[in-house]
Amino acid sequence: MTRKFLALLVLAGMAIAVGGMACNTGVELDKSDETEGAT
């Protein structure tokens, strides 16, 4: 049962990783290390 559960976790993790990559917006790097407080 433990093995089934761990296998489920691994599968879920892979599904999440694939889904996350599919929905990723793309990352741009900051050229400056300053951050502007905005909230």
* Chain contacts with other proteins (rule: CB under 8 A): 1-2, 5-6, 8-9, 12-13, 15-39
CB 32 to other proteins: min, Å: 5
- Helix residue ranges per DSSP H, the chain: 2-22
CB 34 to other proteins: min, Å: 6
What CA–CA distance (Å, rounded) separates 18 from 12?
10
CB 14 to other proteins: min, Å: 10
Triad 37, 23, 25: Cα angle to 5°: 40
